[in-house]
Structure 1
């Protein structure tokens, strides 16, 4: 392990011990990857150092998780494909900001044609699901969290729509629903929306009003009603546990439900002030625990199966630190596939509740 100050940390390094503020607030768990956001938070909370994996970046150390993950992250960020994606992503962010502000401040009509053109280009230039997620992950540290989240949800929603074999017009409407789902957050002060610590009860109540704010902004727009309903209902859940109206399944619009799944997935795989980003299989596990009650079966099963399948044969790290390859999915427990260790032995994670996939390489 190495002890490094925030200035010495590099994006892609792996945290060897939990990083906490002087008051004990968790900023990053063990085995998480260093991001620009983490470095900035360490500076903000006056955290003097972090322990990271490795003794020398040039030594292999048996190809540990740190070395493998760092190499992958840096490889993606340094690729020509990422540079091209980054430029198009920033252009889409700029367009999204312009749309949000014009619709909110000036009540101007939303130019859906221009918005769709930039996002569709981002989607079609990626060859695989994992490649798209790699690009989105590397963009997290570079952009405004509200607009990057909306852009990501638009892209993920479009992906789900393709898995559901929707037609082109429906795909475009679903993409717009994802892009505009959080427009209501533009009415929430930045100091509340991006607050690093715990929200007060009144602040949390304000955050929970953003679907209503969003619907109020969009209701007079010349948009398909499903786009407006997605803004209003993307936090509603089939069992009535959602907000703002505690609707149950038969009252929730289908587009809102798809956007809600994309919204949760992107939020869980992003870093938060109180936790590190979750690995895709940890998110799948969370969905499996209660998702079948909260989301429409057709949509949640389609999403989970395709996400899990995207990582077939991928290399991962288990909670005990062992590296392995995914060799077979368990259809009844998608977050717990069969894996093969480097010594050739096979572990069925569906029967080993003491182990889980900690990260994807």
Structure 2
């Protein structure tokens, strides 16, 4: 059965060796195709391929179901989210929190992260939580941990960086709820008060822990390389590397979340925005490491397009990393060449 590559489906079995137009052997006869193999054939500009008749074989399973691993680790995340609420409450009431509560909650999460490689599915799961502040703290802790490992930090360093991300917003406990949850634009005085959460966080952490670096991350996570951040308007070389990492995680989580004054943005679009910010605002080294390691996580994810079609991301375009190749029931849509369509939503 001869078929065009764009009409292939996961589970098809090729019956002849596949060669690209230059005669290079690409795939062996008998290969059962999944999205990765179909992407490889497309990358090698192969037009037609021989497959086993579909009515004569069973299709392999497709990656459409939420991974069981997420269900297994969700209790650790729920506990950590409850713990950050308790930490905020104690910090507000007593000016400090119990460091043991942080480790007891965050260490099991890190143990789970070591087994969970699908970061995008993890973020989509965390985005289902209701309270923005606690969910955001959890996301920044998780992303800071992952990013530090991707950048080559040791296991112990990655844990400390992740924990700093987990606690980065603890100073918000002192910001009045009516300001934090205000749906409209903040006044200049209200924004000045919001900016103080960085200083408040530093003070609370120093009171609670003998850990200058964790406190420094809380203080500096809104500093920017161009000196336009707060609270101290530091330049890039004055900002601690841990704070650079937490800043990337903080921006990504904030932009991809629903807030009282902002609808969540599509995850790939946020990556594109991070890339833009890496030239002057956010430090380029953690941003580019983040993008490099996040992009493969989108392969196999179900999407809804602006046109209303549903499909699956099967390949990242080398010409435009943020507008991938999507397979729909009608065929393939190359978003890098289709300016009239775009990804509206990404799902588990």
Output the TM-score relative to the length of structure 1. Answer: 0.70
Q: Match of 1:320, SS? A: coil
Task: Confirm or deny that 1:156 pairs with 2:143.
Answer: yes
Q: CA deviation at 1:121?
A: 4.1
Q: Is the 1:292–1:300 contact (alpha carbons within 8 Å) kept by the matching residues of 2?
A: no
Q: Classify 1:122/1:92 alpha carbon distance in 2 versus 1 (closer, same or farther; 3 Å).
A: farther
Mapping of 1:239-318 within 5 angstroms?
Answer: 239-318=226-305
* 2:99 matched residue in structure 1: 110
Mapping of 1:123-134 within 5 angstroms?
Answer: 123-124=113-114, 126=116, 128-134=118-124
Q: Classify 1:241/1:327 alpha carbon distance in 2 versus 1 (closer, same or farther; 3 Å).
A: same
Mapping of 1:37-52 within 5 angstroms?
Answer: none
Moved over 6 A (4+): none
Paired with 2:297 and 2:142, the residues of 1 have a C-alpha distance of 16
Q: CA deviation at 1:80?
A: 7.1
* 1:20 matched residue in structure 2: none
> What is the CA deviation profile of residues 73-93 of structure 1, one whole-angstrom value per residue up to 9, with x for unaligned ones?
xx75xx976655443333212
Work out which of the residue numbers 223, 242, 261 in structure 1 matches 2:210: 223
Paired with 1:245 and 1:332, the residues of 2 have a C-alpha distance of 39
Q: Is the 1:99–1:110 contact (alpha carbons within 8 Å) kept by the matching residues of 2?
A: no
Q: Classify 1:83/1:253 alpha carbon distance in 2 versus 1 (closer, same or farther; 3 Å).
A: same
* 2:77 matched residue in structure 1: 89
Q: CA deviation at 1:346?
A: 4.5
Q: Over aligned residues, Cα RMSD in angstroms? A: 2.6
Q: Is the 2:256–2:266 contact (alpha carbons within 8 Å) kept by the matching residues of 1?
A: yes
Structure possessing the higher radius of gyration over alpha carbons: 2
Q: Match of 1:360, SS? A: strand
Q: Classify 1:333/1:226 alpha carbon distance in 2 versus 1 (closer, same or farther; 3 Å).
A: farther
* 1:64 matched residue in structure 2: none
Output the TM-score relative to the length of structure 2. Answer: 0.72
Q: Is the 2:137–2:165 contact (alpha carbons within 8 Å) kept by the matching residues of 1?
A: yes
Q: Is the 1:89–1:122 contact (alpha carbons within 8 Å) kept by the matching residues of 2?
A: no
Paired with 1:345 and 1:106, the residues of 2 have a C-alpha distance of 56
Give the paired residue count: 282
> What is the CA deviation profile of residues 170-214 of structure 1, one whole-angstrom value per residue up to 9, with x for unaligned ones?
011101110110011010111211223332222122111111111
